[in-house]
Amino acid sequence: MAIKIIVMMKQVPDAEEIFIDPVKFTLNRAQARGIINPSDENALECALKIKDQTGAEITVLSMGPPAAESAIIECMGRGADRGVLVTDRVFAAADTYATSLTLAASVKNLGEFDLIIAGESTTDSGTGHVGPGVAEFLGIDQATYCTSLHIENDALVAERDLEDGTEVVSIGLPALATVLISSNIPRRAKLRLKIDALRKGIEKWDHDTLKLPPEWVGIKGSPTVVGALKIPEERKRAAKRITVDQLGELVKELGGMGLIKTEEEEA
């Protein structure tokens, strides 16, 4: 029997179209259009690769406003079999804790599964909390910062990209993995699959579906408080064009700035 994979996907405002309000220091997302969170595209691609090799039934699970439907359809157009959107006003303004809890409850509601794959972090908050949070709430093992995933002998074999090297781990199923943006090149949707996806449609779940205590979800279930926001100082690009014979000067210059060590210093 084909294994069951859940891909957690978030629709995020296109980071290229978000601007910081120079007066209020807030993020202006009004102009930004929704896209699939980039590393979630890689998560889906990992799932699709497993499906290509050994067969799998892939469900895309997303939480967000109704407009996120188009992102789920796109995932189905690439090869996911089923789409579920958890959407309700009471889930709004959830922090990573409440979001993880709501998603974990949604996973339970989906029934049996073997593997959950998510992007390492989202471009609109970048905490990387939600994947691990879901694994914790479900009480399953997890592998983070993955660049490739395989199923071998009923276990997940994951390559993890760490600061000082690559680690290969094998963990029993069911498990959760978060995937880095560099792990693969996501495939494109196909017309045939997108038409089929639009005909099939997605499932929309709300508060009544999950039946969680109201104080566990949305803003009520969110212990995080944002203290202050600071904008990092913008740095000028330091790139400059040089010719080969200017290379020596550049080395001296960078050495002088303490950015590189020259041989003389090392000796």
Partner 1 sequence: MEIEEKLSVLNYKTDKGFEHITVTPDICEVCPDYFCTFACPAKCYTVMEGKLNFKYEDCVECGTCLFACSHGSVKWNNVKGGHGVKYKYG
Partner 2 sequence: MSEFDAIIVGAGPAGSSAAIKLASSGLTTLLVEKADPPGSKNVSGGIMWGNELGGVLPDWEKDAPLERYVISKGTGLLTSDSLISVDFRSRKFESRKTGYSVLRAKFDQYLANKAKSKGATLVTGVTVDGLALKDGKVAGVIQEGDEITADTVILAEGVNPRVAISSGLRPEIGDKDVAIGVKQVVKLSEATINERFNIRGNSGFAGEYVLGFLKNGVKAGGFLYTNKETISVGAVINVGTLRADNETHSFEIMDQFVNHPFISPYLEGGKMEEYSAHLVCEGGIGSVPKIYGDGYLIAGDAAGFSYSNGLIIQGINYAITSGIAAADTVIEAKSKSNFSSGMLRGYEDRLQGKYVLKDLKKFRGIEEVTWSNLAHKALPDIAEETLFNLFYEEGIPKRHLMEIVLSATKKSGVKKTDMILEAYRTMRRM
By the criterion CB under 8 A, which residues form the site for partner 1? 14, 16-17, 31, 33, 35, 185, 188-189
Query: Which of residues 17 and 141 has its CB atom nearest to partner 2 in the complex?
Result: 17
Q: Which does 192 bind (CB under 5 to 8 A by kind): partner 2, partner 1, none?
A: partner 2
Q: Which does 225 bind (CB under 5 to 8 A by kind): partner 2, partner 1, none?
A: none
Q: How far apart are CB 104 and partner 1 at their closest, in Å?
A: 31
Query: Which of residues 1 and 185 has its CB atom nearest to partner 1 in the complex?
Result: 185
Distance CA 157, CA 170 (A): 4
Query: Which of residues 78 and 82 has its CB atom nearest to partner 2 in the complex?
Result: 78
CA atoms within 13 A on the CB side of 39: 25
Distance CA 136, CA 22 (A): 39
Q: How far apart are CB 203 and partner 1 at their closest, in Å?
A: 24
Task: Determine contact, residues 55/71, Cβ cutoff 8 Å.
Answer: no
Site for partner 2 in 18-77 (CB under 8 A): 33, 74, 77
Site for partner 2 in 184-213 (CB under 8 A): 188-192, 194-195, 198
In Å, how far are 112, 192, 200 from 85, measured between CA atoms?
A: 18, 22, 14
Q: How far apart are CB 14 and partner 1 at their closest, in Å?
A: 7
Q: Which does 267 bind (CB under 5 to 8 A by kind): partner 1, partner 2, none?
A: none
Among 48-56, 124-132, 164-172, 183-191, the segment contacting partner 2 (CB under 8 A): 183-191
Q: Which does 191 bind (CB under 5 to 8 A by kind): partner 2, partner 1, none?
A: partner 2
Site for partner 2 in 75-114 (CB under 8 A): 77
Task: Determine contact, residues 179/46, Cβ cutoff 8 Å.
Answer: yes
Query: Which of residues 190 and 220 has its CB atom nearest to partner 2 in the complex?
Result: 190
Q: Which does 14 bind (CB under 5 to 8 A by kind): partner 2, partner 1, none?
A: partner 1
Distance CA 49, CA 157 (A): 14
Query: Which of residues 2 and 195 has its CB atom nearest to partner 2 in the complex?
Result: 195
Enumerate binding residues for partner 2 (CB under 8 A). Answer: 33, 74, 77, 188-192, 194-195, 198
